[in-house]
Amino acid sequence: MTNTRSKIKIPRSPYVKKYNSWRVRILYSIIIGYATFYFCRQNFNIATPAIREYFGVTKTQIGWILTASSIMYGVSKACNGFISDKVNARIFMVLGLLFVGIITMLIGFSDSLWLIGILWIASNWFQSMGWPPATKMLTHWFASKELGTKWAMGATSNQIGGALAMISCGYLIDKFDWRAAFFVPGVVACVVSLFLYNRLRNSPKEVDLSTVEEYKEYPLEAIGDYEKLLTPQLLKMVFCNKLIWYVCLANMFVYIIRSGVIYWAPTFLKDLRNISLANAGLQIGLYEMIGIPGALIAGVLSDKLFQGRRGPVASICMVLLSLLLVLFWKLPIHSELLSIVILSLIGFFVSGPQLLVGIAAADFSTRQAVGTANGLSGLFGYLGAAIAGVGVGWISDNYGWNGVFIFFSISALLGGGLFALIWNRSAKKYI
């Protein structure tokens, strides 16, 4: 018997105009919202040299704060990924950003490193309430055949927010002090949380629109089957899926590099290359901004050139990343222009795998478990970020920056090998 749902024909106007308008609205709101989460996340990294100087502590001590907060972020992202699959994604994201804003402002009022550490770790719980609900909304508003490109557009928000944090907070610290790098982002987060409450909707159904598959005239049989699965069955599809575990392990190595560069590049550039904090902020801001086309191109290539296979693009990027890290390590100290170029290229090539991890996790799970799958991959990502915190701080204190870049280069190669294990796998075989 033919499934009548798969034959639904949608009138092309004004219905299409309304549907497209909502899709654009959802996408730009997610970009603005998640960029603000990152604006309140990367400010700490640009402020670390000033905080370290203010309190007179070592890189290893600051590294412990970075590691503890990364562990909190990873664990909470896994928990909040599962929760976001079960609750109102819009409200979940709004509340997360509101609490992030409040805690960020409280850090600016703090005069104790211990209190700053506790507040920053607490903030990381609420920071993890950003991307899981965003992915849930993306999968409801955009079909699988266009998801790579749209996901890439949404995921550029972390580069946008990170770049804004590095550039603006670097300036604020030089102009005022490190506290300004927390006051301003905190206020912005509170305002944007109200904006998200107004603009976001969980799914087309909330505004009397059909599912995206009906709108795009894609078959719905498989989706209907998955909607009937119970929570234990959905969890089994995530936790017993070896492809998702490959992606999770690969993400750990991606974040060792991405977080390691963001955590420590301001200190590296200031200490070893005698660059001002404002200038270092500009360089890391450029690193983030160049990551935007890197993520977009990776998403499009995986959709168009590799027919939805994320492994090839991610694997190639990681190998090239290893070579660039070696080049950055071996640069002459005073080659500032070349340093900017190579650091920007590192941002370009690390952003592709970072993006594709989330898409691959969604590909290999189901729409009903996408938050859980992304939460699990995020947990491993922030295990890598935890290693990049105190681990890189300890390596730098004991073996210098040479040891750090050897560690980064090996991590890139290991991540590339894990992505190669999903080279021929795509969503169409699983959903």
3-state secondary structure 262-275: HHHHHHHHHHHCCC
Mean pLDDT for 384-390 is 84
Largest CA distance in the chain: 74
Residue range 176-188, pLDDT digits in tens:
889 999 999 999 9
User: Which residue type, as a one-letter code, is found at position 32?
Assistant: I
pLDDT confidence of residue 170: 85
Query: What is the architecture of the domain spanning 11-429?
Result: Up-down Bundle (1.20)
Mean pLDDT for 275-302 is 83
Residue range 82-104, pLDDT digits in tens:
788 788 999 999 999 999 999 99
**DSSP letter for each residue of 161-223:** HHHHHHHHHHHHHHHS-TTHHHHHHHHHHHHHHHHHHHH--S-GGGGT---HHHHHT---HHH
pLDDT confidence of residue 5: 46
Instruction: Give the pLDDT band of residue 2 (cuts 50, 70, 90).
Output: very low
Please choose, from the candidates 250, 260, 199, 222, the residue with its C-alpha nearest in 3D space to the C-alpha of residue 356.
Answer: 250
Q: What is the mean pLDDT of the chain?
A: 83
Residue range 304-362, pLDDT digits in tens:
888 778 889 999 999 999 999 988 888 776 677 888 888 899 999 998 998 888 888 87
pLDDT confidence of residue 317: 95
Instruction: Give the pLDDT band of residue 368 (cuts 50, 70, 90).
Output: low
